[in-house]
Chain A
Amino acid sequence: MAKEPEYIIVNIDTPRKYNWSTGKYLGHVYAEAKENKKLVGNKCPKCKAIMWGPTIVCPKCKVETGWEWEELPETGTVTQYTYLVFPLWDPHYGERWANPHPSGTILLENGVYQRHFLEETDPEKLKVGMRVQAVWKEDYDERGLGMQDVPYYRTIEE
């Protein structure tokens, strides 16, 4: 019987680091979150839509958006959610893990969609239509990661 071929696999485990420039518009979001605990989006002068994340050009109107900013509301309604059951590889943590916090799509009061995590980890308590509010990192020194300065949204009773 022919011998089974031996295949050689070379494992390459070089970390690839990078520095990412926020740019002027997203930099403003980082600064407002760090200094004032506000998430801000900029406004299209034509259709008046709030760009979140901010953009230099409104993708639909194809006009420059300019420097008119509006604070995003703190509360909204969950329109979609999902949660990891099977751990996936996360390049930012360098390991396989399941984030216990569900990932949600949240419709804020001004019509802006916020794609972020939900604090609630009990699947039984998750539902489309639930009301949530942004939770901020209170320690100034811990802030500085833009949208991540709000780690998740908390369920609120109204």
Chain B
Amino acid sequence: MANKVAIVGIGQTYHKSNRPDVNMPEMVGEAVRAALEDADMNIKDIEATFHANMETFEGIYMPDHIMAAEMGGFGKPGLKVATGGTSGGSAVCEGFYMVASGLQDVVMVVGYEKQDCGDTTAAITAALVPSWSKGAATGAIGEFAKQALSYMETSGAKEEHAAMVRLKADKGACRNPYAHLKLGLTSIDQVLESGYLVWPLRFLDFCPQSCGACVLILASEEKAKKITKKPVWLADVEVVHQEPFRAGTFGDPTGTETYTQHVACENIYKRNGITNVRRDIDLAEIYEPSNWEEMNLYEHFHFCEKGEGWKLIEKGVTEMDGEFPVNPSGGVIATNPIGATPIIRVAEAALQIRGDAGEHQATRDVKTALASALGGPNWTTLALLKREM
């Protein structure tokens, strides 16, 4: 049986397209200091550091070696992971494994991306077999465009529903001091007036490229009780990887592909006795790179039946004041510093459980929350968080 693991410190930077005022270690340092301040701890109290970043996105290889000082990692154990969009989620799992195993008592999980340094889409395209990708050059966006088309054709969702997802996200982002895109949108038409990026995805259907960092401090039960009065328990984590899809990476019109989201959530729900997701979980922070993928993920994670994701957004179920809030932070379509993004999902879910989300605190009381990450050829990581355990 694993030892209990608590989130005892949370810190993030504000997120922007460009941060010419800092280099990568300095930006990471801002989030490290914020997390230490939140936990009222000194960097010397941290035993190990786990670090998430997709290095090719900045064009700098092995960024961990220039980061050791700002992360307080000198002379300590640590690992870096780069699993695409799930990097931050994988790092949360690494931290969880270390504390749950009893090998370490207090660890730090760091994620960041400084996308003004490089070109993320170019790097994603270069992640494919070179001869396969030559000339494709759509990175993740093209795959989510195909997903949007398949979702439209199979579920009956309209562009208006995707626009509702952006409106919901923007409402949250405008209340979240750390969010990147704060557009102040007031109507669906404003979203539908934005031009096409990669058809049928519009500019406002997709996430921005953000610079930013997020840090969590994880501790064993004994340490957590000394550090904070409000520990949030990281009850369980799950990672599922996938071969490159054949039929369509994020939207499969054939129903023949195995989705990692299904495998991952079915595993974690089973282990934790979750049989009715919207009854047993109070809130979710999910990794939705596009408006359309959010509705798709509602279905994959069994928040609703297949083909009914768009009905949840239409009925307002997933609004901040809804029955089952999803991404009250504004989510990934408002803020996407890739290596940090999955850690922000866990951080935001933890803030909701602590009741510390401020202006974007969900109306309902949040005792249990799910955080997800998505990346690579549709890989999934999940984290289940609880107030009581």
- Report which of B59, B135, B145, B248 forms a contact with A92, defined as CB distance below 8 A: B135
Contact with A along B27-45 (1 / 0, CB 8 A): 0000000000000000000
Instruction: Tell me whether A89 and B134 are in contact in the complex, defined as CB-CB below 8 angstroms, given that A79-B253, A80-B149 are known contacts.
Output: no
Q: Indicate if B246 sits at the interface (CB-CB under 8 A).
A: yes
Q: Indicate if A153 sits at the interface (CB-CB under 8 A).
A: no
Binds A, one of B88-96, B192-200, B272-280, B345-353: B192-200
- A105 pairs with B146, CB closer than 8 A: yes
- B195 pairs with A80, CB closer than 8 A: no
Instruction: Tell me whether A92 and B142 are in contact in the complex, defined as CB-CB below 8 angstroms, given that A79-B254, A123-B199 are known contacts.
Output: no
In the complex formed, the residue of B with least CB distance to A7 is: B20
- A82 pairs with B146, CB closer than 8 A: yes
Instruction: Tell me whether A82 and B20 are in contact in the complex, defined as CB-CB below 8 angstroms, given that A90-B125, A117-B135, A148-B134 are known contacts.
Output: no
- B135 pairs with A90, CB closer than 8 A: yes
In the complex formed, the residue of A with least CB distance to B148 is: A82
- Report which of B59, B137, B153 forms a contact with A90, defined as CB distance below 8 A: B137
Chain B nearest CB: distance from A78 CB in Å? 10
Chain A nearest CB: distance from B198 CB in Å? 6
- A85 pairs with B195, CB closer than 8 A: yes
Q: Which of B136-175 contact A (CB under 8 A)?
A: 136-139, 141-142, 145-146, 149-150, 153
- Report which of A103, A107, A146 forms a contact with B136, defined as CB distance below 8 A: A103
Cβ contacts under 8 Å, A30 to chain B: 131
Cβ contacts under 8 Å, B196 to chain A: 85-86
- A26 pairs with B198, CB closer than 8 A: no
Q: Indicate if B356 sits at the interface (CB-CB under 8 A).
A: no
Chain A nearest CB: distance from B381 CB in Å? 19
- B149 pairs with A128, CB closer than 8 A: yes
Cα A22 to Cα B131 with chains together (Å): 9
Chain B nearest CB: distance from A128 CB in Å? 6
Cβ contacts under 8 Å, A91 to chain B: 119, 122-123, 125-126, 137
Q: Which of B20-75 contact A (CB under 8 A)?
A: 20-21, 59
Bin the interface of chain A by size.
Answer: 35 or more
Cα A5 to Cα B203 with chains together (Å): 32
- Report which of B125, B199, B248, B258 forms a contact with A79, defined as CB distance below 8 A: B248
- B139 pairs with A88, CB closer than 8 A: yes
Q: Indicate if A133 sits at the interface (CB-CB under 8 A).
A: no
- Report which of A9, A84, A112 forms a contact with B20, defined as CB distance below 8 A: A9
- B248 pairs with A84, CB closer than 8 A: no
Cα A117 to Cα B133 with chains together (Å): 11
In the complex formed, the residue of B with least CB distance to A104 is: B146
Chain A nearest CB: distance from B148 CB in Å? 8
Cβ contacts under 8 Å, A63 to chain B: none
Cα A30 to Cα B131 with chains together (Å): 10
Cβ contacts under 8 Å, A105 to chain B: 146, 247-248, 253
Contact with B along A6-47 (1 / 0, CB 8 A): 010100100000001010001000100000000000000000
Cβ contacts under 8 Å, A112 to chain B: 246
Contact with B along A140-153 (1 / 0, CB 8 A): 00000111100000
- B130 pairs with A20, CB closer than 8 A: yes
Chain B nearest CB: distance from A69 CB in Å? 17
Q: Indicate if B243 sits at the interface (CB-CB under 8 A).
A: yes
Q: Indicate if B121 sits at the interface (CB-CB under 8 A).
A: yes
Instruction: Tell me whether A145 and B21 are in contact in the complex, defined as CB-CB below 8 angstroms, given that A88-B137, A89-B137 are known contacts.
Output: no
Residues of A within 8 A of B (CB): 5, 7, 9, 12, 20, 22, 26, 30, 52-53, 55, 59-60, 79-86, 88-93, 97, 99, 103, 105, 107, 112-113, 115, 117, 123, 128, 145-148
10 nearest interchain CB pairs? A82-B145, A90-B137, A59-B243, A7-B20, A80-B146, A113-B246, A85-B196, A91-B122, A146-B131, A89-B122
Given contacts A22-B131, A80-B251, 9 further A-B contacts (CB under 8 A): A9-B20, A55-B243, A59-B243, A79-B253, A79-B254, A103-B146, A105-B146, A105-B247, A123-B199
